[in-house]
Amino acid sequence: MSQLKNFFDANSVAIIGASNTPGKIGYAILRNMLDCGYPGRIYPINPKDKEILGLAAYPSLAALPEKVDLAVISVPARLVLPVARECGEHGVKHLVTITAGFKELGKEGLEAEKELINICRQYGMRNLGPNCAGMMDTHVPINTSFAKGFPLKGDIAFYSQSGAMMIAILDWSRSIGLGFSKVVSLGNKADLSEIDFIEEAADDPYTRVILCYIEDVMDGARFLEVVGKATRKKPVIILKSGTSQAGALAASSHTGALAGSDLAYDTAFKQCGVIRARSMTELFDLAIAFSKCPVPRGDKVAIVTNSGGPGIITTDNVELKGLQMSRFTKETLDELRAGLPPEAGIYNPVDVLGDAKTDRYRFALEKVCADPNTDSVILLMCPTAVTEPVETSRVFIEMRDRYPEKPFFAAYMGGGSLQEGADMLAQAGIPCFTFPEPGINAIKELVNYGKFKNTPLAGDELVFPDVDKRAVKAIFYDVVKDNRLVLLGSEAYDVARAYGIPAAPIVLATSPDEAVEEAEKMGYPVVMKVASPKILHKTDVGGVKVGLKNAAEVRNAFVEIMENVTRLMPQAVVYGIEVQKMMPKGNELIIGMTRDVQFGPMIGCGLGGIYVNLLKDVSFRLARGLTRKEIEAMLAETKAYTLLRGYRGEQPSDIPALVEAIARVARLVLDFPEITEMDINPVFTYPNGLSALDVKITISLS
Ligand code: COA
């Protein structure tokens, strides 16, 4: 439930730092409040002036005739804290802090920002900013910003972490007739962030599409919870900047290196149904599409064109985006054949030819739009000497009105000669681009969003009554006591078993006799590996022996490994030799985990073995909120999935067992935040069950 009551719909607003001096921000804000037609009461606060822009001004909040819902703060940074405290004391519910000079300046600014939020918490106020350009709502209307002008009324809510970008977009939007319900500059997000605004907009009757430009998410868990619910109600489209690979370089595990810093955002967005835009152009193309078009029933696209080349290019793009070309019914084809010139293309794309005037476009569009296999329509036009852009646009609008359940897009491939027709479409709410690709991309996103909304929420949380948390805690305790953060193979095996992850038995032996005893217990053949936290690449120092079939071989291997290691790495502390049951070969997979600062553990699974980094066939999901259904979807994204299902006559692997093992790894890393990285590579999958062969776990001290 949103806590933003009386934020946008404030009954009264105090502007602290309102000024009579044109060019000052305090002047611009008051001017904007007056110009937008704000219906509530406005109180300029200024210690010197009695009247500002025709309104009575007050020296302080104490002098006001009532408690105000909202205060806009536009005084220098050194005055912000006392002013905020004064707001709290006078019952102000919300602040919009325009003033810059906080966190963005470094340590001192950060301290001041923290203090600002402490004051807000103390008085139960919510704060937008600091360092923001303000907010607007076209339906209230209210404009607490110092932007030039006011947006047109519309149904897009836009939240921007860059004030400059917000102001620029406003100016541009008016020029193309695009309207907004709300526009908010998020500033430093010290308190209110995109999460709060998305929560509010999800239930706002005037908002149809939620749009964000952000540079980071500051509370990953809350983002997933709140935004995951909002996307079920309306589309949330986000452009997130800062997609560097620094995180990937810093990671030491396979899974961490494969993931990279941006992947957590990608995965989080995917998992909670956010549509991710990759550029400013795409952000607004999608905003227009989602605001103007319905979500289509299916993924079949019909193209009507007056030129062959663009028709083919668009067809290619339809396939590239994973959409289908409509296959018209026999009746439609017969009618098109009978009504169009013999040279015309009647199969999709329908090519009405370069000499087509409006009547021919109309004929083709009527048949194509009516066809039950058409879910979306894209109209292509090249300006030949006989093309009638305005008249044809009129027909296209008529078709859209006749089939409101289908999205209509246009690409008018030309310049000035098509402009009037293109403007006509835009005004009527049909997205019209210069080239077809953005339209097809928008159809793809509309189709995907429809699929997402139609997928029921999978409520199966990963609950395992049989896991032994205490055993894992005890192992970690011992490891830390031993001044280590990396678990030995045998310790990692014990952790895996405590969580029901089927790992191949592995036991630490400190003498040849003990090694033989353990090998006899688990049964031959066995593998033996040196156990030393300092030796990462065991094979390189002669620290691994495989296929040992009897007691004599085990005894020899023990001695040989010890000799090799002493010779090649004399300084390494050796805990003993691990004896592991040699498992039959299966499909080699990797299951891993890397931890993202914001979104927590990310689970990866895909093709394992020694080529894991080369093949990069690993798919990821966040452990938080993960379901078995999502795990299956993650597996299905990998090439390894083909192997798992039985490639070229091979027996299929036990996929349910793999899903179960991944679910248990997710439970483990959620239960133990001290696990910083985890790799199981390889995991052998069999027709019946699976076996985790090499479990690597790194923990932190906390
Ligand atoms: N209560 C109310 N008004 C007060 C006050 C108080 N306690 N103390 C001072 N004022 C008045 C001043 O007298 C002045 O009014 P005047 O023009 O009539 O003299 C007004 O508040 C503003 O103070 P001033 O010292 O002139 O500051 P300023 O207008 O030059 O700068 C900010 C104030 C907030 C605009 C500036 O500090 C700032 O942060 N600018 C950057 C904003 C920004 O970029 N935000 C991020 C956008 S993305």
Assess whether the C-beta atom of 202 lies below 6 angstroms from ligand 1: no
Query: In this predicted model, what pLDDT tens digit does every residue of 347-366 receive, in sequence order?
Result: 999 999 999 999 999 999 99
Position 467 in a domain: no
Residue 161 Cβ < 6 Å to ligand 1: no
16 Cα: distance to centroid of ligand 1 (angstroms): 8
DSSP string, 23-53: TSHHHHHHHHHHHTT--SEEEEE-SS-SEET
Centre of ligand 1 from the C-alpha of residue 74, in Å: 5
Distance between start and end Cα atoms, the chain: 34
Ligand 1: does its nearest atom lie under 6 Å from the Cβ of 678? no
Q: Are residues 404 and 345 in the same domain?
A: yes
Q: Is 648 in the pocket of ligand 1 (CB under 6 A)?
A: no
Cα of 99 vs centre of ligand 1, distance in Å, is 8
Indicate if ligand 1 lies below 6 Å from the C-beta of 100.
yes
Closest residue by Cα to atom 44, ligand 1, is 100
Q: Tokens 């790495």 correspond to what residue?
A: 569
Q: What is the pLDDT of residue 446?
A: 98
d(CA 662, CA 466): 16
Task: Flag whether 31 is in a domain.
Answer: yes
Is the residue at 372 inside a domain?
yes
**Global confidence as pTM:** 0.89
Which residues of the chain register pLDDT less than 70?
Answer: 1-2, 243-261, 458-460, 702
Cβ proximity of 581 and 504 under 8 Å: yes
Report how far ligand 1's centroid is from the alpha carbon of 76 (Å): 5
- Of 238, 219, 137, residue with least CA distance to 184: 137
Tokens representing 122 are: 């103390």
Tell me how long the chain is.
Answer: 702
Residue 99 Cβ inside 6 Å of ligand 1? The answer reads yes
> Strand locations in 55-161, DSSP E?
55-56, 70-73, 94-97, 126-128, 135-137, 142-143, 152-160
What's residue 172's pLDDT?
87
Task: Answer yes or no: do 602 and 547 share one domain.
Answer: no
Task: Give me Rg for the CA atoms of the chain.
Answer: 32
For the stretch 424-481, pLDDT in tens is: 999 999 999 999 999 999 999 999 999 999 887 766 678 899 999 999 999 999 999 9
Whole-angstrom distance, CA of residue 519 vs CA of residue 581: 7
Please check whether residue 543 lies inside any domain of the structure.
yes
* CATH code of the domain in which 383 resides: 3.40.50.261
Strands 236-240 and 209-214, bridge-based pairing: parallel
Answer yes or no: is 256 within a domain.
no
Q: Are residues 330 and 398 in the same domain?
A: yes
Is the CB of residue 520 less than 8 Å from the CB of residue 548?
Answer: no
163 CB within 6 A, ligand 1: yes
Mark 155-192 as b/e (b = at least 16 C-beta within 10 Å). bbbbbbbbbebbbebbeebeeeebebbbbbbbbbbbbb
Q: Give the three-class secondary structure for 90.
A: coil
**Rounded distance, CA 183 to CA 158, Å?**
5
418 and 546 part of one domain? no
Provide the sign of the torsion angle of the four alpha carbons 633, 638, 643, 647, taken in this order: positive
For residues 97 and 623, give the distance between their C-alpha atoms in angstroms, rounded to a whole number: 36
Domain assignment present for 184: yes
Confirm whether 172 is domain-assigned. yes
State the amino acid at position 18 in one-letter form: A
Do 419 and 537 belong to one domain?
A: no
Please indicate, yes or no, whether residues 568 and 433 belong to a single structural domain of this protein.
no
Identity (one letter) of the amino acid at 180? Answer: F
Positive or negative, the Cα torsion across 483, 489, 493, 496? positive
| CATH code of 490's domain | 3.30.1490.20
Locate all alpha helices (DSSP H) within 155-236, ordered by sequence.
163-176, 194-202, 220-233
- List the one residue out of 332, 324, 322, 285 whose CA is nearest residue 302: 324
Do 669 and 619 belong together in one domain?
Answer: yes
Pair type for strands 690-692 and 275-277? unpaired
Residues 404 and 300 in one domain: yes
Span from the CA of 134 to the centroid of ligand 1 (angstroms): 14
Q: What is the pLDDT of residue 246?
A: 52
Question: Which token pair is 207?
Answer: 């908002």
* Closest residue by CA, ligand 1 atom 17: 19
CA gap 532, 621 in Å, rounded? 32
Protein residue whose Cα sits closest to atom 37 of ligand 1: 76
CATH number assigned to the domain comprising residue 48: 3.40.50.720
49 lines ligand 1 (CB under 6 A): yes
* Residue where one domain finishes, among candidates 196, 215, 234: 215
Which of 16, 25, 135 maximizes ligand 1 atoms within 8 Å of its Cβ, making it the mutation to test the pocket? 25
Q: Is 74 in the pocket of ligand 1 (CB under 6 A)?
A: yes
- Asked whether residue 210 is assigned to any structural domain, the reply reads yes
C-alpha span between 456 and 563 (Å, rounded): 60
Please choose from 25, 60, 75 the residue to mutate so as to test ligand 1's pocket, defined by most ligand atoms within 8 A of CB: 75
Same domain, 591 and 576: no
Domain boundary among 454, 478, 500: 454
Host domain of residue 530: 486-581
Q: Is 98 in the pocket of ligand 1 (CB under 6 A)?
A: yes
Q: How far is the CA of 46 from the centre of ligand 1 (A)?
A: 10
Are 373 and 440 part of one and the same domain?
yes
Output helix, strand, coil percentages for the chain, rounded to the nearest 5. Answer: 40, 20, 35
Distance CA 550, CA 558 (A): 13
pLDDT at 539: 87
Torsion of CA 43, 48, 52, 56, to 10 degrees: 50
Amino acid in position 592: G
Q: How many C-beta atoms surround the C-beta of residue 257 within 10 A?
A: 18
What six digits make up the tokens of 186? 């998020």
Tell me whether residue 576 is exposed, middle or buried, using C-beta atoms within 10 angstroms of its C-beta: 0 to 12, 13 to 18, 19 or more: buried
* Confidence at residue 257, expressed as pLDDT on a 0 to 100 scale: 53
Compute the distance between CA of residue 352 and CA of residue 196 in angstroms, rounded to an integer.
50
The reply to whether 34 and 162 lie within a common domain is: yes
Which residue's alpha carbon is nearest to atom 12 within ligand 1?
17
- Is 262 touching ligand 1 by the criterion CB < 6 Å? no
Whether residue 312 is found in the same domain as residue 401: yes
| pLDDT value for 245 | 57
Please tell me the predicted confidence (pLDDT) of residue 459. 65
Contacts of 679 (CB under 8 A, 6+ apart): 253, 254, 255, 590, 591, 592, 593, 694, 695, 696
Mutate to test the pocket of ligand 1, among 24, 72, 102 (most ligand atoms within 8 A of CB): 24
Q: Which two tokens stand for residue 346?
A: 């009647």
Domain boundary at 454, 474, 499, which? 454
What's the rounded Cα separation, in Å, for the pair 671 and 410? 51
Q: Can you give the pLDDT at residue 247?
A: 43
Ligand 1 neighbour 18 (Cβ under 6 A): no
Write out the H or E segment, with its range, that includes residue 518: helix 512-522
CA distance 190 to 84: 14
DSSP β-ladder status, 600-607 and 94-97: unpaired
Whole-number Å distance between alpha carbons of 498 and 502: 10
User: How buried is 607 (Cβ within 10 angstroms: 0-12 exposed, 13-18 middle, 19+ buried)?
Assistant: buried
What are the phi and psi torsion angles at 444 (to 5°)? -60, -45
* DSSP structure class, residue 189: -
Count of domains in the chain? Answer: 4
Give 56 Cα–ligand 1 centroid separation in angstroms: 19
Q: How far is CA 72 from CA 17, 59, 68, 446, in A?
A: 8, 15, 11, 38
pLDDT of residue 657: 97
Q: What is the CATH number of the domain that holds 635?
A: 3.30.470.20
Ligand 1 atom nearest 131 alpha carbon: 46
Alpha-carbon distance values, 54 to 12, 61, 71, 630 (Å): 17, 19, 19, 60
Taking the centre of ligand 1 as the mean of its atom positions, its distance from the CA of residue 132, in whole angstroms, is: 13
Cβ(21) – ligand 1 distance below 6 Å: yes
